[in-house]
């Protein structure tokens, strides 16, 4: 709730049970006259909440609407989720994207909704702050990436170069696919380069959220090193 208010999300109403009344003090700075406070019984709140042990407070908010251009920023680094079905992984990827300086994210059709309760909790508020676009089919997303002149990197498990051998400092997009089957063949073929994380012998693959975080970290490391190298008197 606090992250939602801090991010500037349009909050229409706050629903609170007797148990949740204590939380209103923390939210007081944002509770203007435009925000309606709706009180209810604990039993009624239990029927609304999606968790087993709700804290007695919830909000009705308008989802942020974004344009594709807002995802690009000065140095585009766009995360693209293609068929990532586990909402926990979706939230983790969005949290990592914000933490490592991605300028935005796109979720393709077949990906768990980034504003579903579990994904939103896993993102720790990043889904509210990171420019995010729930796009349509894979082909239309690729077309938008090409139109923006982004270099497209496809995360794969069977072929590709090591992350450290690639240049993530260029305006680029990183494609992360389904937990079990990876990226669709057409998406992998359409990429400019494939990237593969080398694993210890006997380990088949990484969790999608972890793999995406590793690649985002490498992109952040390269970009920060280049930025430091460009400053007089500083070494990378």
**92 closest CA partner among 212, 201, 178:** 212
Average pLDDT over the chain reads: 90
Of 26, 46, 61, the residue at which a domain comes to its end is 61
Based on the fold, state whether residues 25 and 94 are members of the same structural domain.
Answer: no
Residue at 234 is within a domain = no
* Look-up of token digits 């729930």: 134
State residue 147's pLDDT score. 95
- Tens digits of residue pLDDT in 197-208: 887 877 777 788
Q: Which residue(s) pair with 106 in the sheet?
A: 80, 133
State residue 232's pLDDT score. 56
- Tens digits of residue pLDDT in 4-19: 898 888 899 999 999 8
pLDDT over threshold 70, residue 144: yes
Residue at 125 is within a domain = yes
Identify the band that residue 231 occupies on the pLDDT scale cut at 50, 70 and 90: low
- pTM, whole model, 2 decimals? 0.87
Based on the fold, state whether residues 172 and 76 are members of the same structural domain.
Answer: yes
Based on the fold, state whether residues 20 and 131 are members of the same structural domain.
Answer: no
Mean pLDDT for 41-63 is: 87
- Tens digits of residue pLDDT in 31-44: 988 899 999 998 89
Share of the chain above pLDDT 90, in %: 65
Based on the fold, state whether residues 80 and 158 are members of the same structural domain.
Answer: yes
Angstrom distances, CA of residue 91 to CA of 113, 119, 179, 203: 9, 4, 14, 24
Q: Distance between CA atoms of 112 and 87, rounded to whole angstroms?
A: 5
Provide φ and ψ at 123, rounded to 5°. Answer: -80, -10
Residue at 56 is within a domain = yes
Tell me the H-state helices in the chain: 2-6, 24-27, 42-48, 87-99, 117-123, 126-129, 138-147, 185-190, 208-229
**What CATH number does the domain containing 155 carry?**
3.40.1280.10
Based on the fold, state whether residues 47 and 147 are members of the same structural domain.
Answer: no
- Tens digits of residue pLDDT in 105-139: 999 999 999 999 899 999 999 999 999 998 778 99
Residue at 235 is within a domain = no
Share of the chain above pLDDT 70, in %: 97
Residue 49 structural domain: 2-61
């Amino acid at each position: 709730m606090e992250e939602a208010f801090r991010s500037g999300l349009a909050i229409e109403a706050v629903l609170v049970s007797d148990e949740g009344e204590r939380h209103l003090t923390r939210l007081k700075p944002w509770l203007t006259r435009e925000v309606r406070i709706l009180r209810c019984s604990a039993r009624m709140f239990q029927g609304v909440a999606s968790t087993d042990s709700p804290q007695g407070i919830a909000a009705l908010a308008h989802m942020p609407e974004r344009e594709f251009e807002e995802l690009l920023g000065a140095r585009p680094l766009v995360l693209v989720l293609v068929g990532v079905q586990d909402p926990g992984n979706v939230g983790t990827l969005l949290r990592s994207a914000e933490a490592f300086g991605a300028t935005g994210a796109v979720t393709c059709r077949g990906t768990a909704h980034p504003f579903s309760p579990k994904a939103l909790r896993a993102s720790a508020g990043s889904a509210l702050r990171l420019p995010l676009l729930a796009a349509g089919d894979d082909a239309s997303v690729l077309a938008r990436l090409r139109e923006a002149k982004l270099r497209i990197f496809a995360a794969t498990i069977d072929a590709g170069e090591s992350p450290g051998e690639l240049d993530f400092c260029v305006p680029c997009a990183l494609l992360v696919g389904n937990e079990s089957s990876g990226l669709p063949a057409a998406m992998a073929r359409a990429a400019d380069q494939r990237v593969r994380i080398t694993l210890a012998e006997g380990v088949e693959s990484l969790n999608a959220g972890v793999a995406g975080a590793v690649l985002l970290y490498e992109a952040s490391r390269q970009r920060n090193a280049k930025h430091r190298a460009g400053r007089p008197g500083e070494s990378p």
